[in-house]
Structures are given as C-alpha cells and as structure tokens.
C-alpha cells in the first residue's frame, strides 16, 4: 500500500493540536515520525488522507481516536527499577526520616513499572517498620491505553530483569502454560497502587499532596515554557521537604520553587 503524504499545512495543524491539548512539542524534524506512526492507522481506518484523519480526530464524535493519536505519538519505554540511584535516594531519605505515612506520585506512570517499583520498596520499608503502615502510590498518565495495562499489572518478564529473585517471589506471580514469560503483580501489592488519567498541562490540584513525586522522562516532550509550567504545577502538590525526581539526563528545569539538588535528577523541595 502506498505511503500517505503529509503536507506542511496538515503537519502544522497536528503540531498545534498536540501542543495545545497535551503540551507535546513536535519539532519540525518529527514530521517523518508523525507520518510513519499515523499513516498505517489512517489506512487501517479506511480514510483517504491525513486531512480526513485530522477531521475525524477533531470531530465531536471521534470515537476515542484523539486518545489513539496521543498513544501513537508518544513513546512509553519503561521497565522496573529504571535509574536505580533515584530509588536509593528515596529509600535512604525515608530511612532517615522514618515517617508514619508516605504518599508517592508517579506523575507520568506509563505502563506502571515505576509505580510498582516504588510500591515494592515501600512495602519492604513498612515490613521493617522503617515507615508506618499508611503508605500508597498514585500513578497518573494521559494515555488510557497504558493506564489500562498498568491496572492489570501483568508484564513481560524482560521488563523485570532488574528485580531481584527475593522480590520476584514476594511481590510477583510467574506465568505458566499460555502465560509463560509473563509476570503479574500480587494482589497485596496492587491494592496499594492506584492509577488515574491526568493531563499535566491542566490543573493537578485534585490529586492532593505528596511526600515524594516522580516526574521522570516526560519533560523531553515539552518546549521550554511548558516544561516550567508543568514542573511548577506538579511541585505545587509536593510537601515542603519532599523529594522530587526527573530523568537524570533531563537537567534542571527552571521553576518558581526552591530545590536542593541531591544527585542528577533528584531534588529536595526547600
């Protein structure tokens, strides 16, 4: 089947729609990526071109196609215990403070690998009575598809390659037969983790206040002003003295809150 042509005009409209709705910054050089990711979808829907597809996405009865477009244009690469030094900082800080309760927010949770990683560590700390029994993890994302998967809590074993054997036995169920190669989170762990849909470019006050916030590997999708707005919005939900994490390679983002740098990508809200 012939590849569909993406005109400059329609690409500009797609860029504007994504930036206005979810803050996604599609730079001019991303045109080929947009064409490659949306082209097969357009053909699968039986539409003739990108104009027809954009009309479908922008219609009042889009049938969920806008959400599908978001999923296709954003990458959800993740795995358990990614950037482990951040989790070391979290554990070390909690061991020093010994709080009675802990609320953690995984603000761009994708498929939930990060949220369940955090839950494993908090469960271990609670078992040692380093923290109190009242702890929870909230994972939010803009993609309904990844949130549905996160709630299921079932993963290819490869995604848990950095999870130790004792943790696998304690927190996970290994698949057998047709489920060979899959790993499911145990109900006891899942009960401590909740997931919800959230657009970081809109108000986030409804999520409440947190002791620790992870906002890792999502700022790369935003332009400079949007990055600062998102970080300020998220930090507004972090308690004074709380921990804030971004991707270690994302650098320090300008924001109105005062942050103390701990290690690359890890900060304390002053």
Q: Which residues are catalytic, by number?
A: 37, 141
78 is in an annotated binding site: yes
For residue 21, how many C-alpha atoms fall within 13 Å in the half-sphere facing its CB? 15
Say if residues 40 and 219 touch (Cβ distance below 8 Å).
no
> What Å distances lie between residue 189 and 104, 123, 132, CA to CA?
14, 8, 16
Distance set, CA 198 to CA 21, 40, 108, 230 (Å) = 12, 27, 9, 12
Query: What strands lie across the sheet with 210-214, from one edge to the other?
Result: 193-197, 134-141, 101-106, 210-214, 238-245, 266-269, 259-263
Using DSSP's 3-state secondary structure scheme, residue 58 falls into helix
- Do the annotations mark residue 24 as ligand-binding? no
211 is in an annotated binding site: no
**Does 199 count as an annotated binding residue?**
yes
Rg (CA), the chain: 20
Q: Is 41 annotated as a binding residue?
A: no
Annotated binding-site residue? 3: no
Query: Is residue 216 marked as binding?
Result: yes
**Cα–Cα distance, 183 to 88 (Å, whole number):** 24
Tell whether 200 is in a known binding site.
yes
Q: Which residues belong to the annotated binding site?
A: 78, 82, 114, 141, 199-200, 216-217
Q: Which residues belong to the annotated binding site for S-adenosyl-L-methionine?
A: 78, 82, 114, 141, 199-200, 216-217
């Amino acid at each position: 089947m012939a590849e569909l042509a993406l005109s400059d005009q329609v690409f500009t409209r797609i860029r504007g729609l994504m930036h206005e709705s979810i803050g996604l910054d599609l730079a001019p050089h991303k045109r080929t990526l947009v064409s490659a990711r949306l082209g097969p979808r357009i053909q699968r829907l039986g539409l003739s071109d990108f104009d027809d597809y954009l009309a479908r996405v922008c219609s009042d009865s889009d049938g969920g196609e806008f959400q599908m477009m978001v999923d296709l244009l954003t990458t959800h690469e993740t795995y358990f215990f990614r950037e482990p030094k951040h989790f070391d900082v979290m554990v070390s800080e909690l061991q020093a403070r010994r709080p009675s309760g802990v609320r953690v927010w995984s603000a761009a949770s994708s498929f939930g690998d990060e949220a369940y990683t955090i839950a494993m560590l908090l469960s271990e700390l609670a078992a040692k009575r380093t923290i109190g029994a009242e702890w929870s993890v909230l994972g939010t994302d803009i993609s309904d598809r990844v949130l549905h998967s996160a709630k299921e809590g079932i993963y290819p074993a490869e995604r848990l390659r950095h999870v130790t054997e004792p943790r696998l036995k304690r927190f996970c169920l290994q698949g057998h037969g047709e489920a060979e190669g899959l790993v499911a989170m145990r109900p006891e762990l899942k009960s401590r983790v909740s997931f919800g849909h959230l657009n970081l470019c809109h108000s986030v006050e409804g999520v409440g206040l947190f002791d620790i916030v992870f906002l890792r590997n999502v700022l790369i999708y935003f332009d400079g002003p949007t990055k600062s707005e998102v970080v300020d919005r998220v930090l507004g939900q972090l308690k004074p003295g709380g921990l804030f994490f971004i991707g270690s390679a994302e650098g320090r983002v300008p924001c109105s809150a005062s942050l103390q740098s701990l290690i690359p990508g890890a900060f304390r809200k002053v």
